[in-house]
Amino acid sequence: MNKHFKQILFTRKQIEEKILELANWVDETYKDSNDLILIGLLKGSVPFMAQLMKDVKTNHEMDFLTVSSYEGGAGSNGSPKIIMDLANNIEGKDILIIEDIVDTGRTLLAIKNLFLSRKPNSIRILTLLDKKEGRVVKMEVDKYGFSIPNVFVAGFGLDVNGKLRNLPYIGEFDTKYIDEY
Protein backbone atom coordinates (compact mmCIF):
# COMPACT_ATOMS: atom_id res chain seq x y z
CA MET A 1 0.00 0.00 0.00
CA ASN A 2 1.14 3.57 -0.74
CA LYS A 3 2.48 4.99 2.55
CA HIS A 4 0.27 8.07 2.37
CA PHE A 5 -2.89 6.03 2.75
CA LYS A 6 -4.65 5.36 6.04
CA GLN A 7 -6.25 2.15 4.79
CA ILE A 8 -7.26 0.27 1.70
CA LEU A 9 -11.02 0.36 1.25
CA PHE A 10 -11.39 -1.81 -1.87
CA THR A 11 -8.79 -4.14 -3.35
CA ARG A 12 -8.27 -4.73 -7.04
CA LYS A 13 -10.15 -8.01 -6.76
CA GLN A 14 -13.09 -6.48 -4.90
CA ILE A 15 -13.31 -3.70 -7.49
CA GLU A 16 -13.19 -6.11 -10.42
CA GLU A 17 -15.89 -8.32 -8.90
CA LYS A 18 -18.08 -5.30 -8.25
CA ILE A 19 -17.65 -4.04 -11.80
CA LEU A 20 -18.73 -7.41 -13.18
CA GLU A 21 -21.89 -7.08 -11.08
CA LEU A 22 -22.43 -3.55 -12.43
CA ALA A 23 -21.95 -4.75 -16.00
CA ASN A 24 -24.69 -7.31 -15.43
CA TRP A 25 -26.91 -4.48 -14.24
CA VAL A 26 -26.14 -2.57 -17.45
CA ASP A 27 -27.03 -5.60 -19.59
CA GLU A 28 -30.28 -6.14 -17.71
CA THR A 29 -31.22 -2.44 -17.77
CA TYR A 30 -30.52 -1.98 -21.48
CA LYS A 31 -31.58 -5.38 -22.82
CA ASP A 32 -34.16 -3.73 -25.11
CA SER A 33 -31.94 -0.86 -26.24
CA ASN A 34 -30.16 -0.58 -29.59
CA ASP A 35 -28.84 2.90 -28.97
CA LEU A 36 -26.80 2.81 -25.80
CA ILE A 37 -23.94 5.26 -25.30
CA LEU A 38 -21.68 5.03 -22.25
CA ILE A 39 -20.46 8.51 -21.43
CA GLY A 40 -17.38 8.68 -19.22
CA LEU A 41 -16.54 11.83 -17.33
CA LEU A 42 -12.83 12.46 -17.76
CA LYS A 43 -10.51 11.81 -16.26
CA GLY A 44 -11.59 9.91 -13.17
CA SER A 45 -13.87 7.43 -14.91
CA VAL A 46 -11.20 5.98 -17.23
CA PRO A 47 -10.21 2.83 -15.27
CA PHE A 48 -13.83 2.15 -14.33
CA MET A 49 -15.06 2.63 -17.90
CA ALA A 50 -12.27 0.47 -19.36
CA GLN A 51 -13.03 -2.40 -17.00
CA LEU A 52 -16.81 -2.06 -17.26
CA MET A 53 -17.07 -2.03 -21.04
CA LYS A 54 -15.19 -5.32 -21.30
CA ASP A 55 -17.82 -6.95 -19.09
CA VAL A 56 -20.86 -5.35 -20.78
CA LYS A 57 -22.36 -7.56 -23.49
CA THR A 58 -24.95 -5.08 -24.80
CA ASN A 59 -23.81 -3.33 -27.99
CA HIS A 60 -22.89 0.25 -27.21
CA GLU A 61 -20.83 3.23 -28.23
CA MET A 62 -18.64 5.26 -25.92
CA ASP A 63 -18.06 8.95 -25.56
CA PHE A 64 -16.36 11.30 -23.10
CA LEU A 65 -16.89 14.67 -21.52
CA THR A 66 -14.33 16.72 -19.60
CA VAL A 67 -15.66 19.06 -16.94
CA SER A 68 -13.69 21.28 -14.61
CA SER A 69 -13.57 20.11 -11.02
CA TYR A 70 -15.57 21.90 -8.36
CA GLU A 71 -12.53 22.77 -6.26
CA GLY A 72 -12.15 26.30 -4.95
CA GLY A 73 -15.50 26.35 -3.17
CA ALA A 74 -17.95 26.15 -6.00
CA GLY A 75 -20.58 27.78 -3.84
CA SER A 76 -24.28 27.80 -4.57
CA ASN A 77 -23.86 28.86 -8.20
CA GLY A 78 -20.86 26.60 -8.78
CA SER A 79 -21.78 24.84 -11.97
CA PRO A 80 -18.87 22.90 -13.46
CA LYS A 81 -17.42 24.18 -16.73
CA ILE A 82 -17.23 22.05 -19.86
CA ILE A 83 -13.64 21.74 -21.06
CA MET A 84 -14.32 19.18 -23.80
CA ASP A 85 -17.79 18.32 -25.05
CA LEU A 86 -19.13 15.03 -26.42
CA ALA A 87 -18.34 13.92 -29.95
CA ASN A 88 -21.73 12.22 -30.37
CA ASN A 89 -25.16 13.69 -30.91
CA ILE A 90 -27.20 12.12 -28.11
CA GLU A 91 -30.70 12.99 -29.31
CA GLY A 92 -32.88 9.88 -29.13
CA LYS A 93 -30.10 7.78 -27.56
CA ASP A 94 -29.98 5.91 -24.27
CA ILE A 95 -27.35 7.64 -22.21
CA LEU A 96 -25.54 6.06 -19.30
CA ILE A 97 -23.20 8.47 -17.51
CA ILE A 98 -20.18 6.72 -15.97
CA GLU A 99 -18.57 8.49 -13.01
CA ASP A 100 -15.90 7.59 -10.48
CA ILE A 101 -17.51 9.20 -7.44
CA VAL A 102 -20.50 11.36 -6.56
CA ASP A 103 -19.90 13.68 -3.62
CA THR A 104 -21.84 16.97 -3.44
CA GLY A 105 -23.78 15.95 -6.53
CA ARG A 106 -23.22 19.32 -8.21
CA THR A 107 -21.22 17.99 -11.13
CA LEU A 108 -23.73 15.34 -12.10
CA LEU A 109 -26.77 17.52 -11.56
CA ALA A 110 -25.36 20.09 -13.99
CA ILE A 111 -24.31 17.44 -16.53
CA LYS A 112 -27.62 15.64 -16.34
CA ASN A 113 -29.53 18.88 -16.95
CA LEU A 114 -27.25 19.76 -19.85
CA PHE A 115 -27.75 16.33 -21.44
CA LEU A 116 -31.52 16.45 -20.89
CA SER A 117 -31.65 19.64 -22.97
CA ARG A 118 -30.25 17.59 -25.87
CA LYS A 119 -33.29 15.29 -25.79
CA PRO A 120 -31.90 11.78 -25.27
CA ASN A 121 -34.37 8.90 -25.13
CA SER A 122 -33.25 8.11 -21.58
CA ILE A 123 -30.54 9.11 -19.17
CA ARG A 124 -29.12 7.25 -16.18
CA ILE A 125 -26.14 7.59 -13.88
CA LEU A 126 -23.77 4.82 -12.81
CA THR A 127 -21.05 5.70 -10.32
CA LEU A 128 -18.44 3.40 -8.85
CA LEU A 129 -18.46 5.20 -5.48
CA ASP A 130 -21.26 7.07 -3.78
CA LYS A 131 -20.36 9.45 -0.93
CA LYS A 132 -23.95 10.06 0.15
CA GLU A 133 -23.11 12.21 3.20
CA GLY A 134 -21.40 14.73 0.95
CA ARG A 135 -24.55 15.61 -0.95
CA VAL A 136 -25.56 19.30 -1.03
CA VAL A 137 -28.02 19.05 -3.93
CA LYS A 138 -30.74 16.51 -4.58
CA MET A 139 -29.06 14.03 -6.88
CA GLU A 140 -30.02 10.38 -7.01
CA VAL A 141 -27.81 7.98 -8.90
CA ASP A 142 -29.44 5.03 -10.67
CA LYS A 143 -26.75 2.61 -9.58
CA TYR A 144 -23.56 2.69 -7.54
CA GLY A 145 -20.84 0.18 -6.82
CA PHE A 146 -19.82 0.99 -3.25
CA SER A 147 -21.23 3.44 -0.74
CA ILE A 148 -18.46 5.18 1.25
CA PRO A 149 -18.35 7.53 4.24
CA ASN A 150 -17.25 11.14 3.93
CA VAL A 151 -13.50 10.50 3.63
CA PHE A 152 -11.02 11.50 0.93
CA VAL A 153 -10.22 8.56 -1.30
CA ALA A 154 -7.74 7.97 -4.11
CA GLY A 155 -6.78 5.29 -6.61
CA PHE A 156 -8.52 3.55 -9.52
CA GLY A 157 -9.14 6.85 -11.30
CA LEU A 158 -9.53 9.03 -8.23
CA ASP A 159 -6.75 11.56 -7.94
CA VAL A 160 -4.69 13.60 -5.51
CA ASN A 161 -3.70 16.74 -7.44
CA GLY A 162 -3.93 14.75 -10.66
CA LYS A 163 -1.78 11.86 -9.39
CA LEU A 164 -2.45 8.34 -8.03
CA ARG A 165 -5.19 7.57 -10.56
CA ASN A 166 -3.10 4.56 -11.62
CA LEU A 167 -3.35 2.66 -8.33
CA PRO A 168 -5.28 -0.59 -8.84
CA TYR A 169 -7.01 -0.26 -5.45
CA ILE A 170 -9.04 2.47 -3.73
CA GLY A 171 -7.86 3.72 -0.36
CA GLU A 172 -8.45 6.40 2.21
CA PHE A 173 -5.80 9.03 1.56
CA ASP A 174 -4.23 10.81 4.53
CA THR A 175 -4.77 14.45 3.57
CA LYS A 176 -1.79 15.62 5.62
CA TYR A 177 0.37 14.36 2.73
CA ILE A 178 -1.55 16.23 0.04
CA ASP A 179 1.29 18.68 -0.63
CA GLU A 180 3.58 15.82 -1.64
CA TYR A 181 1.59 15.48 -4.88
Which residue number, 95 or 153, has a Cβ lying nearer to ligand IMP? 153
Give the C-alpha distances (Å, rounded to integers) separating 130 from 118, 140, 142, 155: 26, 10, 11, 15
Give the H or E element holding residue 86.
Answer: none
Which residue number, 26 or 128, has a Cβ lying nearer to Mg ion? 128
Which residue number, 83 or 89, has a Cβ lying nearer to ligand IMP? 83
Binding residues for Mg ion restricted to 24-63, rule: CB under 5 A: 44
Q: How far apart are CA 178 and CA 164, in angstroms?
A: 11
Question: Is 69 one of the binding residues for ligand IMP (CB under 6 A)?
Answer: yes
Judged by CB under 6 A, the residue of 101, 111, 123, 128 near ligand IMP is: 101
Q: How far apart are CA 157 and CA 8, in angstroms?
A: 15
Residues that bind ligand IMP (CB under 6 A): 44, 69-70, 99-107, 131, 152-154, 158-159
